[in-house]
């Protein structure tokens, strides 16, 4: 593992249970939670995202991971995994727009991408 000198919550043994809890709290199916955690533990290159359903799970997992991690720029396994997953999400979004002429439904809703809406 590459996690030399990273903050405790960036270490995989601390990060993984937090990610599991966050995914369950966000309503991700048990099968998707297991698949996400297995991909994190296995490391390596993220496979391309091929379906909107996979995109939604990947987006939710990446968003949850970014909430847990303090930085995505260190060499921790969680940060490396999150950056690779984000790259696959961006690739899927670009391919989807090219094919359909619009972005896929964002699982986070407009507040996650456009900021809070409304007036005070």
Q: How far apart are CA 115 and CA 118, in angstroms?
A: 10
For residue 22, what pLDDT is reported? Answer: 92
What confidence score (pLDDT) does residue 120 get?
53
Residue whose pair of structure tokens reads 């995994």 in the numeric block? 81
Structure tokens at 73: 């720029």
CB 27 within 8 A of CB 65: no
- Burial label for 39, CB within 10 Å (0-12, 13-18, 19+), is middle
**What's the pTM value of the predicted model, to 2 decimals?**
0.76
Q: Tell me what pLDDT residue 106 has.
A: 64
Q: What does the pLDDT read at residue 90?
A: 94
pLDDT tens for the chain, residues 1 to 120: 444 555 655 678 888 888 999 999 999 998 888 888 888 877 767 788 999 999 999 999 999 998 888 766 667 888 888 888 999 999 999 999 999 888 887 665 555 555 555 555
Q: What is the pLDDT, as a whole number, of residue 5?
A: 52
Query: Residue 1 has what pLDDT?
Result: 45
Report the distance separating Cα 74 and Cα 89, nearest Å.
20
Q: Please list, in sequence order, all residues whose beta carbon lies within 8 angstroms of the beta carbon of residue 73, skipping any fewer than 6 positions away.
A: 79
At 41, list the tokens: 């533990």
């Amino acid at each position: 593992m590459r996690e030399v000198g990273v903050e405790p919550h960036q270490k995989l043994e601390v990060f993984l249970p937090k990610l599991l809890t966050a995914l369950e709290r966000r309503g991700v199916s048990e099968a998707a939670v297991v698949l996400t955690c297995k991909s994190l533990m296995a490391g390596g290159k993220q496979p391309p995202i091929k379906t909107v359903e996979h995109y939604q799970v990947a987006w939710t997992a990446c968003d949850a991971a970014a909430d847990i991690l303090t930085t995505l720029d260190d060499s921790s396994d969680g940060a490396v995994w999150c950056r690779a997953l984000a790259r696959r999400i961006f690739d899927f979004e670009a391919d989807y727009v090219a094919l359909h002429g619009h972005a896929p439904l964002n699982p986070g809703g407009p507040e996650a991408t456009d900021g809070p809406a409304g007036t005070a």
